[in-house]
Amino acid sequence: MRKNNPFLHRSFRGNASQNLCRSIGTRVFIYHWHSLCRVSGFIMSDSPQKQQQDMTELKWGVTELMRRNTELEGRNSELKMMEEQQKAAKEQAEDLNKELKQKITELEMAEEQQKREKKEAEDLNEELKQKITELKGRIFELKMKEEQQKAEMKHAENVIKDLQDDITELKRRNTELKNQLDDALYYKTIVDCFKMIKTFFSYILNNIQIIKEYMTAVKTQKL
**Which domain covers residue 60, as residue numbers?**
6-89
Indicate yes or no: pTM above 0.75. Answer: no
82 falls within a domain: yes
153 falls within a domain: no
How far apart are alpha carbons 198 and 200 in whole angstroms? Answer: 5
Based on the structure, what is the number of domains in the chain? 1
219 falls within a domain: no
195 falls within a domain: no
CB 5 within 8 A of CB 41: yes
The mean pLDDT value for 31-43 works out to: 47
Q: What is the pLDDT of residues 84-139, one digit of tens each?
A: 888 888 888 888 889 889 999 998 998 899 889 889 988 998 998 999 999 999 99
Confidence of residue 18 (pLDDT cuts 50, 70, 90): very low
- Report angle CA 14, 16, 21 to the nearest 5 degrees: 100
Alpha carbon 98 to its chain's center: 32
196 falls within a domain: no
How far apart are alpha carbons 180 and 187 in whole angstroms? Answer: 10
26 falls within a domain: yes
Q: What is the pLDDT of residues 182-209, one digit of tens each?
A: 666 766 776 677 677 777 767 766 776 6
